[in-house]
Amino acid sequence: AQSVTQLGSHVSVSEGALVLLRCNYSSSVPPYLFWYVQYPNKGLQLLLKYTSAATLVKGINGFEAEFKKSETSFHLTKPSAHMSDAAEYFCAVSDQLTGGGNKLTFGTGTQLKVEL
């Protein structure tokens, strides 16, 4: 089964600083990978997705992620953090092996705190 591991359940950055949220995947075949964001008391919102096209994926709100097969990683970055980025971020992998495109396996999440 495919899985993702998010390193660091809590990350704190200063406003204007680089945001780096880490995600490593486990899969025997190239997966589809996603980053979702969840604001308090809200559902999840798709930030970006990797579907085996370009390895550098740009998403909404200035976020991007790079798929690195050699490192089995899909880390999320943003050059300059904003207070409004404070939220919980989830990495997810799609189970394409058994045709389960919408059956996502999520990581445990990383709570991002942005300080003044």
Partner 1 sequence: KAGVTQTPRYLIKTRGQQVTLSCSPISGHRSVSWYQQTPGQGLQFLFEYFSETQRNKGNFPGRFSGRQFSNSRSEMNVSTLELGDSALYLCASSLTSQVGELFFGEGSRLTVL
Binding site for partner 1 (CB under 8 A): 32, 34, 36, 41-46, 49, 51, 90, 92, 94, 98-109
Least separation in angstroms between CB 101 and partner 1: 4
Measured from the CB atom, the residue of 74 and 81 that comes closer to partner 1 is: 74
Measured from the CB atom, the residue of 27 and 105 that comes closer to partner 1 is: 105
Measured from the CB atom, the residue of 28 and 40 that comes closer to partner 1 is: 40
80-85 contacts at long range (C-beta below 8 A, 24 or more positions apart):
80/16, 80/17, 80/18, 81/13, 81/14, 81/15, 81/16, 81/17, 81/18, 81/19, 81/112, 81/114, 82/15, 82/114, 83/15, 83/114, 83/116, 85/19, 85/61, 85/112, 85/114
Least separation in angstroms between CB 17 and partner 1: 27
